[in-house]
Structure 1
């Protein structure tokens, strides 16, 4: 039961991160974000 709760928490965090990325992509040009991601990694 505890393990399932952790999985749900991870899923929520992943969805929130994805939502934030989509929001930021709409705010700024995709090319700029791709460039930032490339420099980050």
Structure 2
């Protein structure tokens, strides 16, 4: 039902809205010296 550009725009909105939270998670993970594999796979 969703067209590809609709999915892309929704993903872009999710990334934009979730960016501060994502950065907080990355900073937290950086303290543990872990690799955010799920982030790199989702892009």
Q: Place the TM-score, normalised by the shorter chain, in its bin.
A: 0.3 to 0.5
Calculate the TM-score normalised by the size of structure 2.
0.44
Q: Which has the larger radius of gyration?
A: 1
User: Structure 1 or 2: larger helix share?
Assistant: 1
Calculate the TM-score normalised by the size of structure 1.
0.46
